[in-house]
């Protein structure tokens, strides 16, 4: 499949890297010759130097044969224009655009119309804000993902030394016949992701990924020692769009919110648009200000400014002062693995949200959503089961499903449930699958219609 990626910044480079590693023919466009030279040296791609919204440049990148265009330059307007030209001049079937300005969300129908022709608009900051809200809903979790139109959640939890779960077989701690059933569908141990079995035991410092319906998670987490005290006091470092969206969402609850923002004009905008949040003009790395505003006693400190070095420093200061939970926005992927050693409970990376959204257009079969786990070691996907595929019509225990993959849940006629070996997937059902990286292509094949079914 030929894919054009417009924009060779951090997001575009990493999308191109993933696509090329998975056997796709990729053209990468950017105005900066240094960016293209770096990408051409490190990746198996065609590099094109030029402005991606110019028809000649798109033609040089192979737009006439492209199946997908992904526009992720630093300019929203260039991304929109590039998609329009790809639609009307070259007839590219699928277009994806990253749009940072949330105001464009009000005209989403226009952007999706034939006049513009964008199939998917990605708002990275809004995606991050949504993930932050889910983490606030599950205070002990380090990551929370949503599937099945919100009927299923995947939550990650760190297993502390001394936890009652340590040393116990999974089938005892998470019995398959429990009324409120949740499934441990993956375990991160010593930097490696594992797909566990019921007889496996958990170790101290494991990170487990629990899949279940929100109500079942709410019922089971306190009994498992994974609920955590509620969050009632939040301090946000940085007053950008992420901070404003999160604060706006929290205002409808009984959560106290303070925002520290260094730009005085931005403070005025926040004060005008937020009803109850306290907006403070100051440096989020000013330890005296943090002490004065009792950051050390807050339930959650969010470092979400545009400067990730400031975010890291503010996070470390908040942790040292005693903040119970610390979440940090990190745009550079190489910083994410450093987060635990810095006392950061959850590192949020907008790039992963963008890449996950792009993957749904690349995957074979009717894949509705994809998220990466632990730096691309594994993927969790939601897909529609197709009539004639290996997955349909046979009890799951009898399906020759790829090693290193598991069907975690089934969504049938709007009702979701954790999957068991006796379950039979029907055509049109939605399934949630966790797969280690080597098993992903085999899972894709299992989701496709068998040749004998024609």
109 compared with 44, residue with greater pLDDT? 44
pLDDT above 90 for 364:
no
Q: What is the count of structural domains for the chain?
A: 4
pLDDT above 70 for 332:
yes
Q: 145: domain range?
A: 128-224
- Taking alpha carbons only, the member of 434, 110, 32, 127 closest to residue 13 is 32
Same domain membership, residue 31 and residue 86 = yes
- Taking alpha carbons only, the member of 350, 348, 273, 265 closest to residue 257 is 273
**360 — pLDDT class (breaks 50, 70, 90):** low
Predicted local confidence at residue 444, as pLDDT: 83
Same domain membership, residue 107 and residue 22 = yes
Domain final residue pick, 179, 204, 224: 224
Instruction: Please give the average per-residue pLDDT across 107-124, as a whole number.
Output: 74
Same domain membership, residue 435 and residue 417 = yes
Same domain membership, residue 7 and residue 69 = yes
33 compared with 254, residue with greater pLDDT? 33
- What CATH number has the domain bearing residue 69? 3.40.50.720
Same domain membership, residue 373 and residue 266 = no
pLDDT above 80 for 109:
no
- What CATH number has the domain bearing residue 363? 3.30.70.1450
Same domain membership, residue 346 and residue 239 = yes
Same domain membership, residue 366 and residue 260 = no
Same domain membership, residue 114 and residue 169 = no
H/E stretch holding 41 reads: helix 33-42
pLDDT above 50 for 452:
no
Same domain membership, residue 248 and residue 140 = no
Mean pLDDT over the full length of the chain: 89
pLDDT per residue as tens digits for the range 189-235: 998 999 999 999 999 999 999 999 999 999 999 999 998 898 999 99
Same domain membership, residue 343 and residue 242 = yes
Same domain membership, residue 385 and residue 330 = no
Calculate ∠ Cα 249-253-254, nearest 5°.
Answer: 135
Domain final residue pick, 101, 122, 143: 122
Domain final residue pick, 350, 365, 393: 350
Give the whole-angstrom CA distance, residue 302 versus residue 122.
22
Predicted local confidence at residue 367, as pLDDT: 67
Predicted local confidence at residue 107, as pLDDT: 67
Predicted local confidence at residue 451, as pLDDT: 44
Same domain membership, residue 118 and residue 6 = yes
């Amino acid at each position: 499949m030929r894919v054009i990626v417009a924009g060779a910044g951090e997001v575009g480079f990493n999308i191109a890297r993933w696509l090329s590693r998975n056997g796709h023919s990729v053209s990468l466009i950017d105005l900066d010759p240094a960016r293209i030279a770096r990408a051409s040296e490190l990746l198996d791609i065609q590099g094109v130097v030029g402005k991606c919204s110019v028809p000649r440049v798109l033609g040089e990148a192979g737009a006439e044969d492209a199946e997908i265009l992904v526009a992720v330059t630093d300019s929203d307007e260039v991304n929109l224009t590039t998609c329009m030209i790809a639609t009307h001049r070259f007839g590219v079937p699928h277009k994806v655009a990253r749009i940072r300005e949330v105001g464009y969300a009000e005209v989403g129908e226009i952007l999706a119309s034939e006049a513009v022709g964008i199939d998917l608009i990605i708002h990275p900051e809004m995606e991050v804000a949504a993930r932050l809200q889910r983490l606030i809903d599950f205070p002990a979790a380090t990551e929370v993902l949503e599937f099945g139109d919100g009927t299923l959640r995947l939550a990650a939890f760190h297993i502390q030394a001394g936890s009652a779960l340590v040393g116990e077989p999974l089938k005892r701690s998470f019995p398959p016949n429990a009324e409120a059933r949740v499934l441990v569908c993956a375990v991160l141990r010593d930097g490696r992701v594992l797909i566990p079995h019921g007889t496996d035991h958990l170790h101290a410092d494991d990170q487990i990924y629990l899949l279940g319906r929100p109500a079942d998670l709410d019922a089971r987490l306190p009994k498992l020692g994974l609920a955590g005290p509620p969050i009632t006091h939040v301090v946000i470092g940085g007053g950008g769009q992420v901070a404003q969206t999160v604060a706006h969402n929290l205002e409808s609850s009984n959560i106290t919110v303070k925002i520290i923002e260094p730009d005085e004009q931005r403070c005025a905008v926040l004060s005008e648009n937020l009803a109850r949040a306290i907006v403070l003009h100051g440096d989020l790395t000013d330890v005296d200000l943090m002490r004065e505003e009792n950051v050390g006693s807050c339930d959650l400190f969010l470092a979400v400014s545009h400067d990730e070095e400031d975010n890291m420093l503010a996070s470390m200061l908040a942790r040292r002062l005693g903040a119970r939970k610390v979440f940090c926005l990190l745009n550079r992927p190489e910083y994410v693995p450093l987060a635990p050693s810095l006392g950061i409970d959850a590192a949020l990376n907008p790039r992963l949200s963008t890449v996950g959204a792009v993957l749904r257009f690349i995957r074979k079969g009717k894949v509705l959503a994809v998220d990466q786990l632990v730096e691309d070691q594994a993927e969790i996907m939601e897909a529609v089961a197709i009539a004639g595929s290996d997955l349909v019509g046979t009890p799951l225990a009898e399906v020759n499903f790829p090693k290193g993959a598991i069907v975690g849940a089934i969504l049938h006629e709007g009702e979701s449930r954790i999957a068991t070996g006796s379950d039979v997937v029907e055509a049109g059902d939605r399934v949630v699958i966790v797969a280690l990286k080597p098993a992903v292509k085999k899972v894709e094949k299992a989701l496709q219609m068998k040749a004998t079914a024609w």
